[in-house]
A and B are shown apart, each in its own frame.
Chain A
């Protein structure tokens, strides 16, 4: 494995296109007549966190499976750690770690045995293997449970063991397929902390998620995948700029106050049923004050005021056409 790591670092000099930990051009995959990936391009610089964001069934897992050499693409090219996934899968495998959506731990054996199994498969000398296993179990707070069968672990523990196993080989690129799906809020935050630590170690992280806040929180760059195509790509801020700005929303219980306010404030969007007004705004203090001043001088008091700044949710639903209503309710 060190050979491939050396490979990427020597390629870092010069040429921007060569600093990519992961790059793909026109990746395609279909199952039967269902096209899952319809030509996606990726460019992920080494040492960064990249989030592939999309609703269920968008093709996120398929992309990870292809890039991690689990399955073959029907078309296009991909390079991971400088190796072609189709032509030199073993070079890719030596540089990556994968934590899938469904836990990749052996439930029949203990957490410690899982770790030692990984150490053996990475051909670590026995003592070093034991040391690495013990260190990682400690780091992921699994030492107490180390002697228990992994099948008895909670969801969060399994996910932590999963990542710990992935780290045994000291991979330079880590694929995390929906690392927090199905976890409770506390485990989810623990997992975020773990992912940030990985980044501090200089590892490139490729994560998929259906949670926008997660991508916002963790990723340097985000690509929105929808129907097998990348709908948009950029930093969280760049994506937010793609859609119109935020607004201030005023809600009234008294219809008279509502109508007066609507007349007083110009450029409002009226919602007569809800007795609510929307005023376009960048959410700045100055704008907010000017609106409040105008309301005060007209003697109007709103029952509720909310400031809405654009978030990735807006971007997401704008880009994916709000096709995934079920997810909205689930969240």
Chain B
């Protein structure tokens, strides 16, 4: 926080937005640090699934290609699933936050209105990054290696992760805003955990029933997973990169305008 005097002149809209959003972000990070149990619980799902699929189902899933090959296959999907799982926490904490009196206070203060949501979004993306790094470390610990990725590909992988996290977060914020309470938000956000299960995260698309393949192929997770796989392992990306990008932009726009319109409504 810069300590410049705001009293002498009215700060511009943009600097007000930046300043208030960073204040809200600090508030959300403080919550996450003070009460880490929610975050840790959400990390459990992807880590458990990773270990389950590698050590219990691994040999069956890989079709005889071996455990190491399956680890390489499954880790990119697990990483994006981690994002999905983390943003469920965002939906829950947004719903909880909205039921608090402090939000009513914020609404009657001369602050940048969007900063309340932006604080949640940035906080959630940062949390996603930390979670992905943690789950990625577990992946490396059990033998995942990115064989021939260049620096550029690493940067692109990181960029994809942040973009994907941002898009799911905005959707989760909308879900949180429209849910009456924490339980409702958790239920509404369940698709974000289920979608990776019906993507190419665990098994290749061609092993799925024909009628189902198009659904699995074009849902948001599969193109992102295939792109990440390509960046980290050098597999064929094809048009998945573009599809992933379009999905991200579409989800961000949808989530943003949805959240904004819900938040701008008069509270009960």
Contact = CB atoms under 8 A, between A and B. Distances in A.
B110 A90 contact: yes
B211 interface: no
Contact of B108 (A3, A98, A108, A123): A98
B182 to A, nearest CB: 13
B267 A103 contact: no
A186 to B, nearest CB: 23
Interface in A141-188: 149, 165, 169
A143 B74 CA distance: 53
Contacts of B1: 120, 126
A94 B110 contact: yes
B27, B35, B266: residue with the most chain A Cβ atoms closer than 10 Å: B27
A107, A121, A127: residue with the most chain B Cβ atoms closer than 10 Å: A121
A208 to B, nearest CB: 15
Contacts of A93: 108-110
B108 A106 contact: no
Nearest to A2: B7
Interface string A1-34: 1110000000000000000000000000000000
B4 A109 contact: no
B101 interface: yes
Nearest to B31: A108
Interface residues on B, range: 20 to 34
B34 interface: yes
B108 A121 contact: no
Interface string A95-131: 0101010111111110001000100111111110000
A301 B258 CA distance: 78
A278 interface: no
A68 B267 CA distance: 13
A215 to B, nearest CB: 23
Interface string B61-97: 0000000000000000000000000000000000000
Contacts of A94: 110
A123 to B, nearest CB: 4
Contacts of B152: none
Contacts, number: 76
Given A105-B102, A117-B27, A72 B266 contact: yes
A121 B102 contact: no
B3 A125 contact: yes
A291 interface: no
B35 A108 contact: yes
A274 interface: no
B100 A106 contact: yes
A2 B7 CA distance: 8
Nearest to B266: A71
B267 A70 contact: yes
A122 B26 CA distance: 15
B20 A70 contact: no
Nearest to A149: B34
Interface in A212-267: none
Given A94-B110, A108-B35, A121 B23 contact: yes
Nearest to B15: A123
A172 to B, nearest CB: 13
B104 A100 contact: yes
A104 B101 contact: yes
A125 B27 contact: no
A104 B103 CA distance: 7
A320 interface: no
A106 B27 contact: yes
A69 interface: yes
Contact of B4 (A1, A96, A102, A125): A125
Contacts of B7: 1-2, 123
B101 to A, nearest CB: 4
B4, B5, B105, B266: residue with the most chain A Cβ atoms closer than 10 Å: B105
Contacts of A72: 266
Contacts of A100: 101, 104-105
23 contacts: A2-B7, A93-B108, A96-B108, A102-B104, A104-B101, A104-B102, A104-B104, A104-B105, A105-B102, A106-B100, A109-B27, A109-B30, A109-B34, A117-B23, A120-B19, A120-B23, A121-B109, A123-B11, A124-B6, A125-B3, A125-B5, A149-B34, A165-B105
Given A107-B100, A108-B34, A109-B30, 9 more contacts: A71-B267, A90-B110, A100-B101, A104-B101, A106-B27, A109-B31, A117-B23, A120-B26, A121-B109
